[in-house]
Amino acid sequence: MLLAIWQRWLLLTERERTVSLRADANQFLQTANDLLPCSGCRNSAEALFYKLSDGSARVPQLVSRSGICFDKDSHFRLNDAFLSSPDASISLFFHQERWATTALAKAGKPSGKAGSSRARCVLHSQRARGRPRPAAFEALWHKLPEDHQRHLSHIDSDQFLTDLENYLRRHRFCCRCKEKVLEAYDLLIGSSCSEDDCEDCGGFDCADKHHEHSDYGDDLHYTSYLFDELAYSRATSQIVVPCNIEFMSQLMSRADQEVVGDWGDRHARTIAEAQDEVLICLGMVIWEKMQSLWTKSRSEKRSEELLVHCAVSTLRRNFDVAVEALHGKEMMEQ
């Protein structure tokens, strides 16, 4: 196959190759419709295409490395480096064909609904939502800027209280156990300082300074030490989790049963057990935030891969059409 592409490449002049390896938005959309059975994949690739075409988004590294350039008139083409290098261009065509045979073949099975012939890939299937383990988030965490990490570690207290109450109902806690868990929540919210109260830490890392283990009773265990690492800022009404992935992983690990859907009855007879329930719910909230970010990251990467594949496939089609128009169908059959 590589030899055949080489022969076709040499048949065209430099100007003919430049003209043929160029396409517009309509051709891209037609290729995406032909190659991408999943509507979610198709829509995401098309959305990214329009953003890159009008300059509203920065060109991702994956796209720039593939040699795709976007012009202001909604056209795209191979850059000069690829046009002047037959090896690079032919390798790009070959790589995309191989990528399609593996990546696109993993699309989900067609929907069982009547009248639906389109498939849904795993990434865009509601029934096959990814559930990575907490360890899978570590690599993603280290790629995040510091301000984004801080955002993930700050939990709105009002929303968390709503989540906690839903958690208590879901696990059918009795009235006494509910009171114990809410008491643990009040302990977290009420015993921390605000930025105005604490000159040392500004309300973000002050838990160790203001919590005495003896205040919690004789049934305190390791849970309380984790609980003590949390802080509360009255200025922002946020629960502040230590901004490091190791601590967050401990909280997310406590929410494992919630993640897998094990929603049996639970109890919290002591303040230590109540604190543990608060930590489990907090771990679930953090897990959902990380899950959302992880899914978004996967979707963005997938969109970039699909855009490159559809763009290169479109250019390859135009290239083949140009060879056929100039040298007949017999050359295309080689």
In a domain, 237, yes or no: yes
Tens digit of pLDDT for each residue in 221-245?
A: 556 667 888 999 999 999 999 998 9
In a domain, 62, yes or no: yes
Predicted model pTM = 0.75
- With cut-offs at 50, 70 and 90, classify the pLDDT of residue 312: very high
Q: Are residues 160 and 287 in the same domain?
A: yes
Q: Are residues 11 and 60 in the same domain?
A: yes
Whether residue 300 is predicted with pLDDT greater than 50 in this model: the reply is yes
Q: Are residues 320 and 282 in the same domain?
A: no
Whether residue 318 is predicted with pLDDT greater than 90 in this model: the reply is yes
* Strands annotated E in the chain: 22-24, 68-70, 75-78, 154-156, 231-233, 238-240
Tens digit of pLDDT for each residue in 148-203?
A: 999 999 999 999 999 999 999 988 889 999 999 999 999 888 754 444 444 443 33
Q: Are residues 159 and 231 in the same domain?
A: yes
pLDDT at 114: 39
In a domain, 241, yes or no: yes
Domain count, the chain: 2
Tokens read off for 174: 């009795």
Q: Are residues 150 and 234 in the same domain?
A: yes
pLDDT at 11: 84
Q: Are residues 145 and 242 in the same domain?
A: yes
Higher pLDDT, 134 or 86: 86
Whether residue 44 is predicted with pLDDT greater than 60 in this model: the reply is yes
Q: Are residues 89 and 50 in the same domain?
A: yes
In a domain, 111, yes or no: no
pLDDT at 132: 63
pLDDT at 18: 92
> Above pLDDT 70, what percent of the chain?
77
Whether 220 and 261 have beta carbons less than 8 Å apart is answered as no
In a domain, 34, yes or no: yes
Q: Are residues 272 and 309 in the same domain?
A: no
Which residue range(s) make up the domain with 321?
Answer: 1-104+301-333
Q: Are residues 269 and 169 in the same domain?
A: yes
Task: Find the farthest-apart pair of alpha carbons in the chain and give their distance in angstroms, rounded.
Answer: 89
Q: Are residues 153 and 186 in the same domain?
A: yes
DSSP state letters, 154-194 = EEEHHHHHHHHHHHHHHTT--HHHHHHHHHHHHHHHHSS--
Lowest-pLDDT range of 51-60, 232-241, 262-271: 262-271
